[in-house]
């Protein structure tokens, strides 16, 4: 058995990894932007970027060196000039038959790139620019806005347009190695310039630049001289630490540290919220589970004992009626009649065990119908087996046949239904906790869905999925314990 358990645990590793991949796809890819879904679409781009930064959503999905940033949204000018509408001297041209939507920068001016917020310090960025320059000259320039002040302190500022120029103190000689001078350490001023070539056709160019220690002093401009500069697409990308600095790796590292993030609604760690909510959920779910199991199996044995009699048929009718009543109807009926009108039970809260009596009663009654029919079918199926007929022929009493033979041989499907249901005890009961104000994981899940709290939803779904995989292993072990015909590890 031990070797079988080890083998099954090893088989669970790719299954659990598959569960992690599926939850990653559901919450990071399919759902769209978690930041916009949680904070709303009218929130500032900086707040959205901070949300993504904290949760790793501003990285590439699986693999990549560059990632998008909300400091400048990707612009294709299909409908309007986008963020360039507020820049003076910029003309927008709508798409035509063979021409895309574009903006035109008039010659002889410097145009500041409209960023939504300051860039990250000491970080490399890259512009992806699709442009057309029929005549004249144009260039992109990243320059410190305080260069005039620094020039008065002994710095040279050669304003000639040269690709990626760096200006350093006039008194500082080169080191002879050909390396680039340090920006902050040397106290120098960095001017990065990229010339754009003249071409009558559309062309795409990538322009990397680096933000200094103080991004507020960084000024990004486009200069056109001698002819207009036409732009039809502009993107800004941020360079990551390495190719594996991605959302998926970030997600795996969180799981390895048992760090499920931080709730945006309550501002608490999700792991702490799970610890606080698991006890109320189990206090409600475990009694419902045990009482319902004992009652339904007993009623199923009673049906098998009085099979094909009026009692058996009456139980079936009652079970069908119970199945036909909606779960919310039971809750509303129980709260109004038993709690409000008769005052037998408290209606709201989780202060003592008496607050659990009514929700447990409702949970048991509402689940009796389906469970009784399921277990009744199992018991009646066993009652018509040959070993039951042999036991009666040997003179075994009817109770002996039911409890020593029928119940034991019917444990396989019962165990399957019971053990698989155990992981769902962890999430509690969504409706009962919501209607009765029980601060369990079910109530937490409802609040997380209503407030689009992505971290809480993802943590509950992931842990529930992993518990479900573990429950499958427990089911196989229980088969071997209750049924001697099952041998673990045999072919």
Is residue 58 assigned to a domain? no
The low-confidence residues of the chain, meaning pLDDT below 70, are 1, 31, 144-191, 427-428, 488-491
Residues 337 and 419 in one domain: yes
**CB contact set of 253 (below 8 Å; sequence gap of 6+):** none
**CA proximity to 407, closest of 486, 487, 294, 316:** 294
Tokens, residue 149: 């002040």
Residues 151 and 289 in one domain: no
Is residue 114 assigned to a domain? yes
Q: What is the pLDDT of residues 377-424, one digit of tens each?
A: 888 888 888 888 888 888 888 888 888 888 888 888 888 888 878 777
Q: Check residue 126 and give its pLDDT.
A: 92
Q: Check residue 101 and give its pLDDT.
A: 92
Residues 106 and 220 in one domain: yes
Q: Check residue 414 and give its pLDDT.
A: 85
Indicate the number of domains in the chain: 2
Total-model pTM: 0.71
Q: Left (φ > 0), alpha (ψ -120 to 50) or beta: where does 50 sit?
A: alpha
Is residue 249 assigned to a domain? no
Is residue 259 assigned to a domain? no
C-alpha torsion 117→120→125→131, nearest 10: 10
Calculate what percentage of the chain has a pLDDT beyond 70. Answer: 88
Is residue 363 assigned to a domain? yes
The CATH number of the domain holding residue 388 is 1.10.3720.10
Q: Which of 239, 255, 288 is the last residue of a domain?
A: 239
Distance between CA atoms of 469 and 423, rounded to whole angstroms? 9
Under a CB-based contact definition with an 8 Å cutoff, are residues 126 and 120 in contact? no
Q: Check residue 328 and give its pLDDT.
A: 87
What residues make up the domain containing 275? 270-482
């Amino acid at each position: 058995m031990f070797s079988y358990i080890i083998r099954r645990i090893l088989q669970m590793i790719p299954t659990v990894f598959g569960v992690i991949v599926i939850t990653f796809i559901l919450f990071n890819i399919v759902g769209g932007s978690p930041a916009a879904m949680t904070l709303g679409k009218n929130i500032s781009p900086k707040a959205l970027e901070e949300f993504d930064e904290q949760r790793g959503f501003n990285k590439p999905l699986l693999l990549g060196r560059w990632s998008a940033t909300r400091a400048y949204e990707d612009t294709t000018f299909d409908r309007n000039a986008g963020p360039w509408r507020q820049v003076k001297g910029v003309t927008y041209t709508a798409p035509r038959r063979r021409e895309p939507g574009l903006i035109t920068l008039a010659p002889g001016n410097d145009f500041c790139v409209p960023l939504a917020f300051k860039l990250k310090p000491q970080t490399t960025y890259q512009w992806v620019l699709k442009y057309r320059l029929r005549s004249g000259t144009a260039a992109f320039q990243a320059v410190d806005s305080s260069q005039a002040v620094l020039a008065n302190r002994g710095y040279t500022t050669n304003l000639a347009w040269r690709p990626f120029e760096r200006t350093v103190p006039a008194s500082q000689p080169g080191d002879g190695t050909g390396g680039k001078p340090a920006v902050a350490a040397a106290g120098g001023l960095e001017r990065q310039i990229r010339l754009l070539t003249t071409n009558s056709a559309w062309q795409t160019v990538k322009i990397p630049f680096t933000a200094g220690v103080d991004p507020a002093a960084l000024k990004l401009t486009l200069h056109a001289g001698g002819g207009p500069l036409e732009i039809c697409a502009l993107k800004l990308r941020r360079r990551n630490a390495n190719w594996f600095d991605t959302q998926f790796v970030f997600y795996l590292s969180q799981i390895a540290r048992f760090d499920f993030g931080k709730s945006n609604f309550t501002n608490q760690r999700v792991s702490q919220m799970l610890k606080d909510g698991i006890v109320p959920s189990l206090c409600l779910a475990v009694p419902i589970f045990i009482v319902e199991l004992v009652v339904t199996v007993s009623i199923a044995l009673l049906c098998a004992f009085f099979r094909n009699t009026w009692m058996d048929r009456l139980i079936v009718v009652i079970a069908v009626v119970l199945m036909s009543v909606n779960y919310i109807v039971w809750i509303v009926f129980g709260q109004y009649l038993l709690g409000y009108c008769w005052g037998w039970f408290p209606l709201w809260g989780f202060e003592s065990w008496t607050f659990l009596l009514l929700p447990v009663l409702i949970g048991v009654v509402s689940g009796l119908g389906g469970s009784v029919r399921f277990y009744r079918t199992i018991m009646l199926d066993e009652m018509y087996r040959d070993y039951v007929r042999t036991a009666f022929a040997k003179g075994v009493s009817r109770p002996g046949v039911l409890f020593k033979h029928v119940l034991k041989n019917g444990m396989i499907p019962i165990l399957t239904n019971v053990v698989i249901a155990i992981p769902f005890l962890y999430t509690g009961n969504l409706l009962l906790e919501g209607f009765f104000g029980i601060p369990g994981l079910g109530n937490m899940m409802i609040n997380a869905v209503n407030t689009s709290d992505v971290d809480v939803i993802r943590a509950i779904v992931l842990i529930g999925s992993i518990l479900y995989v573990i429950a499958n292993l427990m089911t196989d072990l229980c088969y071997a314990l209750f049924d001697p015909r099952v041998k673990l590890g045999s072919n």
